[in-house]
Structure 1
Amino acid sequence: MKKLVIFLFGILPLAVLAQNNLGSANDYDRIALDVFIPEQVESIPEHAKSLIISKLTNAITEKGMAGAGASPRFLVTAKMELLTKDIAPTVPRVETYTFDIYLYIVDHVDKTIVSSTSFTAKGAGSNANKAYTNALRTLDLKNQKVDKFLDDGKRKIIEYYNSRCDFIIARAKSLATQNQFADALATLSGIPEVCKDCYMKALDEVGPIYQDFIDHDCQVMVNVASAVWASQPNSDGAMAAGAVLSGIDPDSRCYSESRTLIGKMEQKVLKDEKRDWSFMREVYQNEVMLEALRIKAFRDVGVAYGENQQPTYVYDIMWVFR
């Protein structure tokens, strides 16, 4: 649990030096964009798709914008449209294709295009796949046109967060009240550091939502462990319940309740089976065994293990390709 939140907020250092200065080159370091082309896109052969993703990733890496953000609302994608196709009656056969290549930065939540640019490319080969690949190999994305494309996207992303800050924070709070804590934290962590005022407001909300997060999960784990122990009040039940309780964050408000339950189990197992709590050491030292016991315990009492612990992302950008 704690590892998840550390991951989510690794990009949110407490010392904030950012300014809302669109001209600062360092601003790129605070806006991370992931490159994504849906598997369902059939107009680009697989090898060509991998090549264009690689070239796009390299281009945004050069600008310091590569890497998925904790809440990757904004994505970079590309599509290719065939303009001409010529087949030369030669041996070996040569197919020549001309394409328009479109690059987009999109808001996949609101389904809007934030920035775009396009190129025309030509490639030839013995088949369509080789022609596509050869066209992309000659494509240079490290140029002023791509720089402007990324600059425009960066500016509009910053404008989005600055203008909709209160709405974004309200959305995060709403998710938290629905026990969708990971999504709430991911929503807050997606605010770039460069948007200083909004970023600071988000930081103010992180602590309370995180506390609610670990408190909620603590109570779920205590309830699951109690149910497991009630149905199997012996060393096997204690092992399963203890595995569940070991996942509780010590900072949660019901942590003491979990320790009380462990104490009760320890006393009963010692009394009935003459075994002290040292039999749990093997479990605690084996992460694979511990995880397996946790999952089984949750299933046994009909609770979804890990529910709402991971942010949910559905990258539906097929509308770009229609």
Structure 2
Amino acid sequence: MKKLLFIACLTIMVIASYAQKQTALGSFNISVVMPEASDELDASHLAKLETKIIRIVEASGVAASGEYSSFVIYPKFDVYQTDLVEGGLQNITVTRCHLSLFIKQVENNLVFSSITKNLNGSGNNKFNALNNAISTLEVNDPSLQKFVETAKSKIIAYYNAHCTSIFASAENMAKKKNFERALILTSIIPEGTSCYNTAQIKTIAYYRSYQKVKCLEEIKAAERVREECRGWSTTEVNDLKCKSHTRSLDQSTSNYMTAKVAALEQSHGWCITSASTSYITMTHLNDLELYFQPSAFATGGKTPN
């Protein structure tokens, strides 16, 4: 079983290493993080706004997704004025809004760029007016592209200035066997920095060490389960026979097998007096003796039972 688990762990590491070689580590991408739906913006408004933000980021040559990244872009949407204009065939609702966008790094909580845009919308109700306001956000707005490009430049400059200290911190974590933290520190260094290639090499090395630790933990856990579920050997049975007649049960004893047998004897009165590979002799309260062959209780196609 141990051999099989070890082989499985090695297989996982090989597959993971191959997958990492196929996908660039630390490639520059920004995750879009949206707020929860509210009375102002419902789920459909947020979905429309998210699509707009993704297109803004991608228009600046940066990958955007809803998946986790060290760098995130998130909005703050404020409806500061709502007016009802009466007249004509129907009343018109007009909304005036502020949309603020921020790009920050999650781990260090550093904001690299921000911008605020005024959006106005109108419709036959407030829902449609907000939809219209979001629609007015121009994906190719030069100020929005500059906002993203400024963040990217600042992020690259930040890592160029801190690569040495980041690698030192990662190595310190690795020496403490905290490979998960070391992995995070090096994997978030984005493409375009001077230390990107070195970060890739270190990330793969920390990942392999992390996988080895996890595999050993899984093997130890499997061995504990196997030990708890295995049967008792003849030697163990002979060694434990009638223990409850010579000493009281100690629930805190370190010998799990002894405690288990003694508990059974104390609860049911049965005591094992002798055992071999083919038979077991038991007594009940030192009065009744039972001799039997365990094989008589076997089940299956090749057994008499």
* TM-score (normalised: structure 1): 0.59
Question: Aligned in 2, Cα 1:53/1:4: closer, same or farther, shift over 3 Å?
Answer: farther
Pick the aligned partner of 2:104 from 96, 103, 106.
106
3-state SS of 1:160 partner: helix
Question: Aligned in 2, Cα 1:185/1:131: closer, same or farther, shift over 3 Å?
Answer: same
Higher relative contact order (CA 8 A, sep 6+): 1
3-state SS of 1:113 partner: strand
Residues 1:12 and 2:24 are matched in the alignment: yes
Residues 1:229 and 2:226 are matched in the alignment: yes
Instruction: Say if 1:158 and 1:194, in contact at 8 Å, map to a contact too.
Output: yes
Residues 1:73 and 2:70 are matched in the alignment: yes
Alignment of 1:1-322 (within 5 A): 1-2=12-13, 3=15, 10-12=22-24, 30-39=27-36, 43-67=40-64, 72-89=69-86, 92-177=90-175, 179-196=177-194, 198-233=195-230
Unaligned runs of 5+ in 2: 1-11, 232-294, 299-305
Per-residue deviation, 1:135? 0.7
Distance 2:158 2:219 in 1: 41
What is the identity percentage for the equivalent residue pairs of Structure 1 and Structure 2? 23
Q: Which structure: larger Rg?
A: 2
Return the structure number with greater strand share. 2
User: What amino acid does structure 2 have at the position aligned with 1:226?
Assistant: E
Distance 1:72 1:87 in 2: 42
User: What amino acid does structure 2 have at the position aligned with 1:126?
Assistant: N
Question: Aligned in 2, Cα 1:85/1:6: closer, same or farther, shift over 3 Å?
Answer: farther
Distance 1:178 1:160 in 2: 26
Return the structure number with greater helix share. 1
- How many equivalent pairs are there? 220
Instruction: Say if 1:124 and 1:135, in contact at 8 Å, map to a contact too.
Output: yes
Per-residue deviation, 1:12? 3.2
Deviations 1:192-235 (A, max 9, x none): 22113x2233234235423321221221122112112212238x
Instruction: Say if 1:172 and 1:188, in contact at 8 Å, map to a contact too.
Output: yes
Distance 2:95 2:125 in 1: 10
Distance 1:185 1:126 in 2: 53
Instruction: Say if 2:31 and 2:68, in contact at 8 Å, map to a contact too.
Output: no
Instruction: Say if 2:33 and 2:66, in contact at 8 Å, map to a contact too.
Output: no
Unaligned runs of 5+ in 1: 14-28, 235-271, 274-322
Instruction: Say if 1:70 and 1:190, in contact at 8 Å, map to a contact too.
Output: no
Per-residue deviation, 1:187? 2.9
Per-residue deviation, 1:51? 0.9
3-state SS of 2:80 partner: strand
In the alignment, which residue of structure 1 is the partner of 2:303? none
3-state SS of 2:29 partner: coil
Instruction: Say if 1:45 and 1:132, in contact at 8 Å, map to a contact too.
Output: no
Instruction: Say if 1:71 and 1:189, in contact at 8 Å, map to a contact too.
Output: no
Per-residue deviation, 1:138? 2.1
* TM-score (normalised: structure 2): 0.62
Distance 2:81 2:228 in 1: 70
Per-residue deviation, 1:8? 5.5
Instruction: Say if 1:12 and 1:189, in contact at 8 Å, map to a contact too.
Output: no
3-state SS of 2:63 partner: coil
Per-residue deviation, 1:167? 2.7
